[in-house]
């Protein structure tokens, strides 16, 4: 790595020794560097599956550790793209990025040989820009409500249907657990740090109150509306009451840490938290329930933000053929199945939702199937290259409300003006 990237404290690890390529029938051994995430079990799976491919193909793989936050990962990749860096061959692509980094990715159509047809069409469409298949779907994500089954039973409360119900249930359990001696116990933990994860949570809150999606499909800025005000007021009411003040600095892993240690009644998180929450070292193993996120009031709707990751080949790679082969292996049904069973990563291949081993490991993949297929996309397609700016303005405006710096009314009004500036005449 050059020093330009040293602030990200990246680790580069060689994990496979090249074997004789003659056996694999390939012309020359290449060294392929792949970015591996660091949330939950991301890194271990990356290591295992790339090593399998290296063994099969005769190529060598190097792992390039990327930061936890998608916001930091995008900043890093943008620096690398600007430098036309060949340091990375295969990269992770957040579902909101294809339109943002489209100029730096290889068209995978000639390598996929139609394999994308097995994947959810909406994700393939998301990853296809100007007729080019820029990334293969790897796993999909949707926001979920995790709860402690044992504590709901103990306090005689139901899994909440609305945010109002959640607030009341969280308060009751928190009061009870604190009175019983656990001073650190929290009612609800979620993602409220100023980063992309807060955009995901806040899109859920606003959409659940039927307050739209920041920018609609036509590109109109819709975020300054009374339902959005209601949603942000509700979320702000949690901070310092049923959620710790520190939630203003929580991303996914901080929330999971508190919940998995047995210190929260409810948590908003992605599916990956299921497998870890039921892991051998989890204090809440076997005590977790999963439900759709609550509605915004009785007239509201359930809303889960669509997340997920793809794999792509950098245009600056010197070994695009081998890199694309690795992408096809990593996104194959075989690898997706193992990741689903052992890591509760949602496959992007519909057929795997009927697989009995996948369903046995993750019963909610079946019972909440609709949550995954009807998840709300962030307005990345409508805002194209400007999405990162739109999202940053939105999470900052939301963070100001949650931290008590601004009222929901003022903050959304200011946000609307800011988004108009970002849009100018068109996205
Ligand atoms: C998860 C989602 C991704 C989202 C991110 C926000 O990784 O899959 O789409 O942007 O969380 O933190």
- Residues 288 and 412 reside in one and the same domain: yes
CA of 201 to the centre of ligand 1 (A): 10
Residues flanking ligand 1, CB < 6 Å: 70, 94-96, 141, 196-197, 200, 252, 270, 307-309
Give the integer Cα–Cα distance in Å for 262 and 259: 5
- Residues 94 and 153 reside in one and the same domain: no
From the centroid of its chain, how far is CA 352? 20
- Residues 75 and 110 reside in one and the same domain: yes
- Domain of residue 368, CATH code: 3.40.190.10
pLDDT of residue 162: 98
CA of 140 to the centre of ligand 1 (A): 9
Q: What is the pLDDT of residues 115-126, one digit of tens each?
A: 999 999 999 999
Residue 14 pLDDT exceeds 60: no
Where is 188: in which H helix or E strand?
strand 186-189
- Residues 296 and 164 reside in one and the same domain: yes
For residue 28, CA distances in Å to 59, 312, 395 come to: 8, 22, 47
- Structural domain of residue 250, as residue ranges? 144-305+377-424
For residue 277, CA distances in Å to 147, 156, 197, 235 come to: 11, 23, 20, 25
- Residues 153 and 88 reside in one and the same domain: no
- Residues 205 and 278 reside in one and the same domain: yes
CA of 372 to the centre of ligand 1 (A): 14
Residue 270 CA, closest ligand 1 atom number: 1
pTM to 2 decimal places: 0.94
Domain assignment of residue 139, yes or no: no
What distance, in Å, lies between the first and last C-alpha atoms of the chain?
35
- Residues 285 and 324 reside in one and the same domain: no
Domain assignment of residue 46, yes or no: yes
Q: Number of structural domains, the chain?
A: 2
- Residues 402 and 314 reside in one and the same domain: no
pLDDT of residue 425: 84
Q: What is the pLDDT of residues 354-363, one digit of tens each?
A: 999 999 999 9
Residue 7 pLDDT exceeds 90: no
- Residues 273 and 200 reside in one and the same domain: yes
Of 185, 211, 195, 197, which Cα lies nearest the Cα of 273?
Answer: 197
- Residues 13 and 107 reside in one and the same domain: yes
């Amino acid at each position: 790595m050059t020093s330009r990237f040293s602030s990200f404290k990246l680790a580069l690890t060689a994990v496979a020794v090249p074997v004789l390529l003659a056996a694999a029938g390939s012309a020359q051994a290449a060294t392929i560097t792949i970015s591996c995430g660091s949330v939950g079990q991301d890194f271990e799976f990356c290591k295992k599956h790339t090593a399998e491919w290296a063994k099969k193909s005769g190529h060598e793989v190097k792992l390039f550790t990327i930061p936890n936050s998608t916001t930091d990962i995008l900043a890093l990749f943008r620096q690398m793209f600007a430098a036309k860096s060949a340091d990375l061959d295969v990269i992770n692509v957040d579902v909101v990025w294809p339109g943002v980094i489209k100029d730096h990715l290889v068209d995978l159509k000639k390598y996929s040989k139609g394999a994308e047809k097995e994947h959810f069409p909406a994700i393939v469409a998301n990853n296809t820009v100007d007729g080019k298949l820029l990334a293969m779907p790897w796993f999909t994500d949707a926001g979920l409500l995790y709860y402690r089954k044992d504590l709901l039973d103990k306090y005689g409360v139901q899994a909440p249907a609305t945010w109002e119900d959640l607030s009341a249930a969280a308060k009751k359990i928190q009061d009870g657990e604190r009175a019983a001696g656990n001073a650190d116990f929290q009612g609800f933990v979620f993602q409220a740090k100023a980063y992309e994860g807060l955009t995901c949570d806040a899109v859920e809150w606003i959409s659940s109150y039927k307050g739209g999606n920041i920018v609609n499909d036509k590109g109109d800025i819709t975020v300054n509306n009374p339902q959005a005000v209601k949603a942000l007021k509700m979320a702000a009411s949690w901070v310092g009451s049923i959620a710790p003040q520190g939630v203003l600095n929580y991303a996914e892993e901080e929330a999971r840490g508190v919940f998995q240690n047995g210190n929260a009644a409810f948590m908003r998180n992605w599916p990956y938290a299921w497998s870890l929450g039921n892991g051998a070292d989890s204090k809440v193993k076997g005590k977790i329930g999963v439900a759709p996120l609550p509605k915004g009031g009785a007239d509201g709707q359930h809303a889960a933000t669509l997340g997920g990751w793809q794999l792509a080949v950098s245009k600056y790679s010197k070994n695009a053929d081998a890199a694309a082969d690795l992408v096809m292996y990593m996104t194959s049904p075989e690898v997706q199945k193992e990741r689903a069973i052992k890591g509760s990563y949602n496959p992007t291949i519909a057929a795997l939702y009927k697989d009995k081993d996948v369903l046995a490991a993750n019963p909610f993949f079946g019972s909440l199937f609709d949550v995954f297929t009807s998840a709300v996309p962030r307005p990345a397609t409508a805002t194209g290259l400007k999405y990162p700016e739109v999202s940053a303005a939105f999470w900052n405006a939301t963070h100001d409300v949650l931290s008590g710096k601004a009222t929901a009314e003022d903050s959304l009004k200011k946000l609307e003006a800011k988004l108009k500036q970002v849009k100018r005449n068109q996205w």
